[in-house]
Amino acid sequence: MATGRFGVGETLGALNAALRPPPPPSGPGGSVWFKENSARNLRSRDFLAPRGALQALFGDGQVPKDILDGVAALEGPGVPPIQKCTQTQAGLALQLERPTVFEQVLSSLRGYVAPQPTSSTSEHSIILDCVSLHGPKGPDALSLSQLRAVLVADHLAQALRTQGVTVYQVPAVQDPGLRDFLQQLKVSWPSASETSSAPESTVALKEVLRDHAAVPTEDLPPGVVCKVSLKEFLEQQPGLEGFDPNLDICLVTEDQLGALTELQEAAQHHPRNVPLSHSDAESSAGGTACSVIHVVSCEEAFQQQKVDLLWRLVDANAPSRQKHLVCGPVKVVGSPTPLSAPQYYRLRQSQMREASVLKYGVDFVQDDSWNEIIGALTSAAVKFEMLSTAHRSQMSLDLEHTSISTKGTKSGAFVMYNCARLATLFDGYQRGVEQGLYPAFPDVSELDFSLLRDEVCKFLVHLSMDFSSYYNRVHILGEPQPHLFGQMFARLQLMRAVQEVFHSALATLHLPPLSQI
C-alpha cells in the first residue's frame, strides 16, 4: 500500500508513464491523464485519459490488457491506492480507493496544507510584474479591470509561494493613498522606499535608447524621451512570437522608463537564476536568465508589449522568459457611469454592513470588533467576485445585494460564514470537554474512519458545493453518549480537515478566517 504524502502531480506522472506503450509514441507529448473536478464525473472516476488521447496512442483507442492491468496495479511515491481502471465511452476511467485515501489524508492533515518551504537559493524563482501598479497613480485612478489584475497578481504571488517558488513583486507602490487602499483590501504588495536609484538608472536607459532613436530628440513632442522602431527590432528577433503585429513606432515616455528601471533592478538582484535551455543560452550569450510574468489588464496589454520589447532592446541580458497574463474586462451591470475601484469597494462595504445590521441588529453591529469583521467580509466579497471568472474572460459585475449573500456557494461571504461555523463547532466541543460532557480528543491513530465510510465518499464528491448542507444534516457533536463518541471524533477530524483547507485557501488570498459572524 502507498504511504507518505499523496500528490496529484506525482500521480499524473506515474499514470502517464504507465500508459504510454514502449517505445514512446512519436506524436505530441504532454499529459494524457487529467484530474477530474466536476461533481457529476467524480461520482464514477477520479482521473481520466480521454478517448481522443487514447486514439493518438493506440490507433483504435483500445488499451492493451497488459497496460490496463499495469495501470490498475500502479504503485509508487505519492500515488494513492487505486480501486479500478476501466475503459469507458469517455476514455480510460480510474477510481481511487477513496476510504483508504481519506483515512491516510485525515491522519496527516498538516502534510497536505502546509506551504512548501521557500529558499533564497531555489531554482524556481519568478519576477511578478503587476502592470496596473506602475507609476504614481492614486487609488481613484484604478479602474475595475485594473483592480482585477491587481487581485490576480496578489493571489498568484501567494499561491506560487505556497509551492516553494521565490517570488519578487514589482513595482513598489509609490502613492500612499494607493498603498492604504491595497492594505484595506488585504493585498500584500511592497511599497516604495524613501531612497531609490531610479533617477540614475533612468538616465542610463535614456542614453541607450538615444542610440536607437528614430528621430532627433529636439523634434519630439513634450513628455516623450525618444522615438524607436519596435517593428524593426522585432523583425531582427526571429525567436520572439505572440506580439501584436500592429507594434511599430514607440514614443518612449518617462513612465515607461520608470517601469523598465524597476524590472531591471529586480532581475539584477535575482539571487539565483533558473537553468538555461540551449536556445536561451545562445540568445543571452552566456548571460543570466529568469522568469518574468507581467499581469496586465486588457486595456494595458498593448502598451505592456512595448515595455517588454523596450527591455529586450536596451538590455542584452533581459530575461528571455517573459509571459503576459492578460486579464479580461469588467462589465458593470446596473450602473450608468463607470465605477472606480474605491467606489466599488465602498459600495460592497456599505452593503455588507447593511446586511449585518438586518441579521444581527444595529446595536450588536456597532461593536468595534464588527468593523474588522465587516472589513474582512468586504475584502472576501470583492476578491471572490473578481476571481470567480477565468482571468482571460470578461466578467459581469452585478452591484445588487445578492452578490454578497451567504446563501450561495461561490460568494466570499458564504465561505467566511462557513469558516465561522466551523470555529463555533470546535469551540462548542472544547466547552463540552471543559464541562465533562465529552472526552478529550484522542490521538488520530486511534480514530476509526470506517465509521465514516459511506458519508466520506459522498462528502468527497460534494465537498466544494455541499459542505453547508452536510453540516446542517449531520449533527456532529450530538448527545454525550459514549457509544457515539467514536463516530463523533471521526466526524470532527473530517471537519478539521475541511477547516484546514478553508484556512489554507483563504491564506492565498490574505484573508483572515473569522471565528464569529
Three-class DSSP labels, 356-409: HHHHHCHHHHCCHHHHHHHHHHHHHHHHHHHHCCCCCCCEEEECCHHHHCCCCC
Q: Look at residue 404 in the predicted model and tell me its pLDDT.
A: 63
* 435 C-beta neighbours (distance < 10 Å), count: 9
Cis peptide before 480 (omega within 30 of 0): no
Q: Look at residue 50 in the predicted model and tell me its pLDDT.
A: 95
- Decide: residue 469, CB within 10 A, 0-12 exposed, 13-18 middle, 19+ buried: exposed
- CA separation for the pair 436, 84 (Å, rounded): 46
Global pTM reads 0.85
Q: Which of 3-12, 35-44, 59-68, 198-207 has the weakest average pLDDT?
A: 198-207
Give the residue ranges of DSSP H helices in 237-277: 254-268
Q: Look at residue 433 in the predicted model and tell me its pLDDT.
A: 96
All three cell numbers of 244, joined, read 501584436
Q: Which of 193-202, 211-220, 484-493 has the weakest average pLDDT?
A: 193-202
Q: Look at residue 449 in the predicted model and tell me its pLDDT.
A: 84
* 226 C-beta neighbours (distance < 10 Å), count: 21
Q: Look at residue 29 in the predicted model and tell me its pLDDT.
A: 56
Residues 174-205: b if buried by 16+ CB within 10 A, e if exposed = bbeebbebbeebbbebeebeeeeeeeebeeeb
Q: Look at residue 454 in the predicted model and tell me its pLDDT.
A: 61
Mean pLDDT of 200-205: 75
As a whole number, the mean pLDDT across the chain is: 84
Q: Look at residue 304 in the predicted model and tell me its pLDDT.
A: 95
Residue in the block written with cell 474588522: 372
- CA separation for the pair 252, 228 (Å, rounded): 8
All three cell numbers of 278, joined, read 540551449
Question: Strands 291-297, 321-327: parallel, antiparallel or unpaired by DSSP?
Answer: parallel
All three cell numbers of 33, joined, read 491523464
Task: With CA atoms as reference, report the closest residue to 19 among 62, 67, 90.
Answer: 67
Confidence of residue 211 (pLDDT cuts 50, 70, 90): confident
Q: Look at residue 305 in the predicted model and tell me its pLDDT.
A: 95
- Contact status, residue 16 vs residue 30, Cβ threshold 8 Å: no
Confidence of residue 172 (pLDDT cuts 50, 70, 90): very high
Phi, psi of 64 (to 5 degrees): -55, 145
All three cell numbers of 430, joined, read 472544547
Q: Look at residue 202 in the predicted model and tell me its pLDDT.
A: 76
In the chain, the percentage of residues whose pLDDT exceeds 90 is 47
> With 60 as the cut, is the pLDDT of residue 112 above it?
yes
The string of pLDDT tens digits covering residues 6-21 is: 999 999 999 999 987 5
Helix crossing, 453-473 with 485-507: angle to 10°? Answer: 70
Length of the chain: 517
- CA separation for the pair 240, 308 (Å, rounded): 11
- Contact status, residue 418 vs residue 463, Cβ threshold 8 Å: no
> With 60 as the cut, is the pLDDT of residue 501 above it?
yes
The string of pLDDT tens digits covering residues 20-32 is: 755 444 444 568 9
All three cell numbers of 183, joined, read 492594505
Q: Which of 128-132, 405-409, 425-429 has the weakest average pLDDT?
A: 405-409
Among left, alpha and beta (phi > 0; psi -120 to 50; other), residue 164 is left
> With 80 as the cut, is the pLDDT of residue 67 above it?
yes
Q: DSSP letters of 285-332?
A: TT----EEEEEEEGGGHHHHHHHHHHHHHH-TTS-SEEEEEEEPPEEE
Q: Look at residue 15 in the predicted model and tell me its pLDDT.
A: 95
Instruction: Return the SS3 of 253.
Output: strand
